[in-house]
Amino acid sequence: MTWVHHDLKSRNDDLGQHVVPFGGEYTIDFCPSFWETTLFFCRMSWSREAHWFDIYDASRDSSRCGNNTVLVVMIMIYC
């Protein structure tokens, strides 16, 4: 089984490193800032590779997500 290591952060909070199996998930809930400046980014690494992703950007996502947001990081395999 392959595992993904991820480190989830915002500008203000470091939610730490977590290990999630492929097909698994990691969930957080939060309220974006009033000024729509909330940004969560994630470093994911697997098989000796690492990549950074903006997984929530209020300027991009607030219109579809609303004020109370649950963020689910899902790890999926596509062949």
Please report whether residue 40 resides in a domain: yes
Quick check: 23 and 46 in contact, CB under 8 A?
no
For 23-61, how does the pLDDT look when each residue is reduced to its tens digit (9 = 90+)? 777 777 777 887 888 888 888 887 788 888 888 888 888
The number of domains in the chain is 1
Specify the pLDDT at position 67: 63
Q: What is the pTM of this model?
A: 0.68
Please report whether residue 55 resides in a domain: yes
Specify the pLDDT at position 78: 44
Q: Compute the distance between CA of residue 39 and CA of residue 16 in angstroms, rounded to an integer.
A: 16
- Write out the residue range of the structural domain in which residue 58 sits: 33-78
Q: In the Cβ-directed half-sphere of 49, how many Cα atoms lie within 13 Å? A: 3
Please report whether residue 22 resides in a domain: no
Please report whether residue 13 resides in a domain: no
Task: Please determine, for residue 79, whether its predicted confidence score (pLDDT) is greater than 70.
Answer: no
| Selected residue with higher pLDDT from 63 and 76 | 63
